Amino acid sequence: MSKATSASGSVREFKMPDVGEGLTEAEILKWYVQPGEAVTDGQVVCEVETAKAAVELPIPFDGVVRDLHFPEGTTVDVGQAIIAVEVAGGAAGGPSDAADEAAGAGEGAGAADAEPEGRQPVLVGYGVSQSTTRRRPRKAPAATAAATPAADAVQAELNGHVDTAPPAAPSAVPAAPAEAPPAPASVPGERPLAKPPVRKLAKDLGVDLTSVVPSGPDGIITREDVHAAATQAPAAAPAGRPGAERVARAEQQVTGEPSVPAAALADAAGRETRIPVRGVRKATAQAMVGSAFTAPHVTEWVTVDVTRTVKLVDELKRDADKYGLTGLRINPLLLIAKALLVAIKRNPEVNASWDEANQEIVQKHYVNLGIAAATPRGLIVPNIKDAHAKTLPELAEALADLVGTAREGRTSPGAMQGGTVTITNVGVFGIDSGTPILNPGESAILAVGAIKAQPWVHKGKVKPRQVTTLALSFDHRLVDGELGSKVLADVAAVLEEPKRLITWG
């Protein structure tokens, strides 16, 4: 789109940034603004999904939305302009008629061809701006509401003057809104003042910015304010939060409600539906194919009596205060994860990766424990960093945070990188077990089947016992049959007799 101009400013293009690590494209999931609406620096304008995660994009300047170049559901290459915003008097990355008009507004019509003075480079990719430009303090909600019915009125507010006033007559310019004291950040309906990195931090910590008391100048929320709010009490996500909308929309897609993406096409008879594969699901498919045909998989099975583990879980639930587990989610997966960590401690050679370029085995002296999570957007595998160093309460808290974040669709790309081994709990679907495919770059994955009451020989008699089947898949380049068998046997031994956690852990 050409950089069209108006009497009040120039049009700047906001390009799709590289929101991941070298990713080349992203799908626009939802627009939060429409043409004619005013936007401010740091305001989230859309949500996009990459091959790793869904990300909200803040815009880096003030203005009025002129055009949305792509509809929701479109996959856009990094570097393509996705939204045009009419800004107040600033140049849109180079000399333009709008820049000349901005210069002529203060110097007369004869200076229209002159290049504005005091231009300084700003962020890479966002052009330059007038050195005299000063961000206007946020107006009170009532004033803002009065100014938004028409785009021209909003633009006039951004310029700090009314279009009907003669440009060469400063005395005719009414008092700038900046003279009015800014509204406090806690006013209902007012968007809290915070920089994009602070907003990202609040999102990752699950903190509602509207409940944070600002300590920065002019009511700006700082990183310290967010950390303080996070330590006081976990903030629940507002019902209108974009992330909540994403989860609701994705859940509707899974259940077959009418909110199927616009890109999903059904044939005339309604017998087939074609849904484009993109984002997380596309990346997962590519990764699984690469893993299956790169790493030589071996899978071993063991069926184990976990009655004592089930009883221990019940005891931990009853006496959570005694064991420091108050308020934490306690389930068999917690003890299974601990059992796997103990088995890795006893057999550290299993915790490794294959360096194809250098033809080396990279031994890991830390365990980033991945937990496979089925989400409305597809299968993701976030991991608990340094899980080997966590106590049982710390591991329980980390598991709860990981699962909760995944279900809400807020898992960050960093949380899905650097995993070493993974657990996939297929038992929650009533499945006995399976042959899981390795997460790329990892050495092993443990599949946990459903825990069921089955007849079992116990102390020479057949009794109903709680039984499950474990399956361990591993990369045979790194792990031979003996090592894999030892790891699986150790996991089974701990789950059969949890007291081994005391002597082995």
- The alpha-helical segments, DSSP class H, found in 172-266 are 196-205, 223-232, 242-255
> Read out DSSP for 302-371?
EEEE-HHHHHHHHHHHHTTTTTT-TTS---HHHHHHHHHHHHHHH-GGGSEEEETTTTEEEE-SS--EEE
Q: How far apart are CA 12 and CA 89, in angstroms?
A: 11
- For this structure, is 458 an active site residue? no
Q: What is the DSSP letter of 209?
A: G
Cβ atoms within 10 Å of 63's Cβ, excluding its own: 25
Q: How far apart are CA 435 and CA 480, in angstroms?
A: 17
Residue with tokens 């859309």: 46
Q: Is 466 helix (H, G, I), strand (E, B) or coil?
A: strand
Q: Tokens standing for 82? A: 């996705």
Q: Tokens standing for 319? A: 């006496």
Residue pair 349/443 in contact by the 8 Å Cβ criterion: no
Measured in residues, the chain has a length of 505
Cβ atoms within 10 Å of 417's Cβ, excluding its own: 15
CA atoms lying within 13 Å on the CB side of residue 505: 22
Q: Find residue 470's DSSP bridge partners.
A: 302, 448
Q: Is 48 left (phi over 0), alpha (psi -120 to 50) or beta?
A: beta
| DSSP E strand boundaries for 50-181 | 54-58, 63-68, 75-77, 81-88, 119-121, 128-130
In degrees, to the nearest 5, what angle opens at C-alpha 56 toward C-alphas 55 and 61?
Answer: 140
Active site residues per annotation: 476
